[in-house]
Chain A
Amino acid sequence: MNIIRDKIQLSADVFQMVVEAPLIARERKAGQFIILQLDSTFAERIPLTIADADEIAGTITLIFQAVGGTTRKLALKNTGDSIENLLGPLGQPTHLQNFGRVVCVGGGIGVAPLHPIAQALKKVGNHVTVIMGARNKDLVILEKQMRAIADELILCTDDGSAGRKDLVTVPLKELCAGPNKPDFAVAIGPPIMMKFCAETTRPFGVSTVCSLNSIMVDGTGMCGGCRVTVGGEMRFVCVDGPEFDAHKVDFDNMMLRSKAFKAKEQADHECFIQEYGAKK
């Protein structure tokens, strides 16, 4: 049992929860994630990045977007409620190094997993530029926290309601082409965004890492459901990743595989609406 200590709504459908998990808080490193399950009998297991942790309080912070059955049910939970199963920390920690200039690109909910990585990269001495994008100003999350870390922050929205009216790849390209070309890039967001970030940095030879969010079951390397093709080889996101060289990832295949269970997800979603009404 993992008690929810705090819950904040960050945007229309993005929530932040602080959850009791002392063992995970102690061991976790930037880039790692947990798998949670709301009950042991019929619930599914879903992965979420550890956005932050407090070793002394014994808590971890999760930031998630309510997109389907499980995340919506999670969003209904309140401070004092608990999450039945929480496994972690999973995955390989981020490789940290002083590269010099790094650019961290986050799209949508991808800003949540990007935050601890940007923080860690800053801590080891990098000059950090953050580019963060959202569809509109109401969907921008963690701006304040990111400003606190970043040496420079570029905000983009699709409709121009906050920051620049651009896709994140536009400022990314400017940076790469400019006088302060980054030595290293991290891109986290929807697969399509990561794919285009990879295509943007590739011609400039800027080594780029992305964090993949394939569908998972166990998170321990046992099922192979999270497999992706990287550099022509089969890799398991939960144990070999979640971070990979973005220039080598087969994003097209990954996007197809993410839609494998569309029908059931849709049905669950409708079921949820019936049960709880259309309210968020």
Chain B
Amino acid sequence: MTNKERMAIPVQEMPAQDPLVRAKNMQEVALGYTAEQAQLESNRCLQCKTAPCISGCPVSIDIPRFLGLAAEGKFADALGVIREASLLPAICGRVCPQESQCQAPCTLGKSLKNPLLAVAIGRVERYVADNCSAELPLPTIKPETGKSVAVIGSGPASIAAAADLRQNGHAVTIFEAFHKPGGVLVYGIPEFRLPKAIVDREIDTLRQIGVKIETNFLVGRTRKLKDLLTQDNYDAIFVGTGAGLPKFMKIEGENLVGVFSANEYLTRCNLMKAYDDGRASTPIYRSKKVAVLGGGNVAMDAARSALRLGAEEVSIVYRRSLEEMPARQEEVHHAQEEGIHFRTLTNAQKILGDDQGRVKAVETLTYTLGEKDASGRRSPVAVEGSEAILEVDTVIVAIGNDSNPLLRQTTPELSVDKRGNFLVDENGLTSMPRVWAGGDIVLGAATVILAMGQGRKAAASIHRFLAG
């Protein structure tokens, strides 16, 4: 095939549930490519010599090589190539912000002037992972080294670190506070975007290769971090405890009944399955009109969950414009299709309650965009006298997370920056000997693939330390 022919293939759209139907169920929105689509899409890759796409992927998957194999229909081989660099392709193929990662520098997207028209790398990645994982053998384990590592938390950073360490023959135990492992993948990201069965499969693989998983274990409380080293004889520790401290707006009315952090709302909905009204015991608020404050993935997930739980009108309230929204474009697009209202250039300044202390409205202010700020985004400026009332019965605050303070409070040896994120060297080593860290606890709220990349880097360093 010539490059011209390749470029003539239209980007393969992802089949999806009808927006009106899916807005009322919890099943996955995107249905996945057919084999033909996966092959066609792979054929769009121009096999660039310089492969700029690879530099856009935080774990440097050899993208042209896997797409080349997929283009020939050798899907299992393609998955093998991905697996050299990434352990969670079924997850990353679904949730990576591809347009700002691997697809951003893609030559094809550049020449079509739109990263959404680049090769749909993540969609092919998802296809081969969904369809060929069962064909690949379990990873081989090197002979036992007799060394043991404690991994704290069970999100993507920890999953990656645990898998690599185990493959190198170390005994690995994961300690997770919740009753189910997976971190944000199970308690935050909703079923309709990332089916929990997929996360369970990855966790199962860990168990099959001999990683021990202790749930209901809060390090810092059930056991001090230091005791794991000094009394329980672990040789090293990897901390992947994530960014689990919800930020609030610090505005009037935030403690009214009907105001939730996105973490609470999503945990009730996903982990505790509150959407399954007949069977789940965990209650969720029955809402008619919902305002979600924020514009990231978390805000989209909360808004779309509220819709699926039966809300009639759901608004995203975001103080910049659509262009600046940090959420993945695909999620914004899906949310729009489902009928979520986007009230951009608007910010909540007060939450109003009724005489029962329940939310009845949000007072908003209109904003315009001014000069670029330190983050390179144009900073929002309030328009004086633009107060307006948005009547709602539920407010979900989704303006981000800081790192959870528990471990640093109970482990004074750990150095943190002013936002509470762990300070680490280039290998993920913290200020405490034999303790490494990675993922959101180091980066602040970031992405699945970045967390995974950090887990792998730390695992390599831990392995060098244990072998040395």
Residues of A bordering B, CB below 8 Å: 23-24, 27, 37, 40-45, 69-70, 84-90, 217-218, 220-225, 227-229, 234, 239, 250, 252-253, 256-257, 259-261, 263-265, 268
Contacts and interface: CB of A to CB of B under 8 A. Distances in A.
A223 B264 contact: yes
B77 to A, nearest CB: 37
Given A37-B179, A224-B248, A87 B222 contact: yes
Best-buried of B215, B268, B283, B285 by chain A (most CB within 10 Å): B283
Contact of A225 (B217, B261, B273, B279): B261
B404 interface: yes
Contacts of B179: 37, 40, 45, 84-85, 87
Contacts of A234: 248, 250, 254-255
Contact of B177 (A42, A87, A259): A87
Given A42-B273, A85-B179, A223-B246, A90 B261 contact: no
Interface string B356-393: 11100000000000000000000000000000000000
Contacts of B32: none
B244 A222 contact: yes
A208 to B, nearest CB: 22
A268 B246 CA distance: 29
5 contacts: A23-B217, A87-B217, A221-B404, A229-B255, A239-B405
Contacts of B356: 256
A222 B223 contact: no
B281 A70 contact: yes
A224 B281 contact: no
The 5 tightest CB contacts between A and B, nearest first, are A264-B283, A256-B357, A261-B283, A223-B264, A222-B244
Contacts of B223: 23, 27
B257 interface: yes
Best-buried of A88, A224, A229, A256 by chain B (most CB within 10 Å): A224
B255 A253 contact: yes
Given A42-B280, A261-B283, A265-B283, A218 B267 contact: yes
B222 A263 contact: no
Contacts of A43: 281-282
Contacts of B280: 42, 44
B138 to A, nearest CB: 25
A223 B177 contact: no
A89 B177 CA distance: 11
Interface string B389-411: 00000000000000011100000
Contact of B257 (A88, A218, A256): A256
A89 B268 contact: no
A114 B285 CA distance: 32
For the side of the interface on B, what is the size category?
A: 35 or more
B263 interface: yes
A261 B268 CA distance: 12
Contacts of B358: 256
Nearest to A263: B286
A191 to B, nearest CB: 13
B222 A27 contact: yes
Given A24-B222, A217-B272, A257 B255 contact: yes
By DSSP majority rule, is chain A's interface helix, strand, loop, or mixed? mixed
A45 B272 contact: yes
Contacts of B215: 85
A168 to B, nearest CB: 26
A265 B244 CA distance: 27
B267 A217 contact: yes
A263 to B, nearest CB: 7
Nearest to A220: B177
Interface string B333-360: 0000000000000000000000011100
Contact of A27 (B221, B255, B406): B221
Contacts of B405: 221, 239
Contacts of A257: 255, 257, 357
A89 B222 contact: yes
B257 to A, nearest CB: 5
A139 B110 CA distance: 75
A23 B123 CA distance: 45
Given A44-B282, A84-B179, A222-B244, 4 more contacts: A224-B263, A234-B254, A256-B357, A263-B286
Contacts of B284: 264
Contacts of B283: 44, 260-261, 263-265
A69 B281 contact: yes
Contacts of A229: 255
A224 B264 contact: yes
Given A220-B244, A253-B357, A41 B221 contact: no
Contacts of A37: 179
A213 B423 CA distance: 35
B285 A260 contact: yes
Interface string B208-222: 000000011110011
A37 B456 CA distance: 33
A42 B276 contact: yes
Given A85-B179, A90-B221, A227 B255 contact: yes
A220 B404 contact: yes
B245 interface: yes
Nearest to B214: A23
Interface string B223-260: 10000000000000000000011101010001111101
Nearest to B222: A23
B180 interface: yes
Nearest to A34: B216
Contacts of A221: 244-245, 404-406
Given A24-B222, A37-B179, A89-B221, A217 B255 contact: no
Best-buried of A87, A88, A89, A223 by chain B (most CB within 10 Å): A223
Best-buried of B221, B260, B273 by chain A (most CB within 10 Å): B221
B221 A222 contact: no
A23 B180 CA distance: 19
Interface string B158-187: 000000000000000000011110000000
A222 B276 CA distance: 22
B222 A41 contact: no
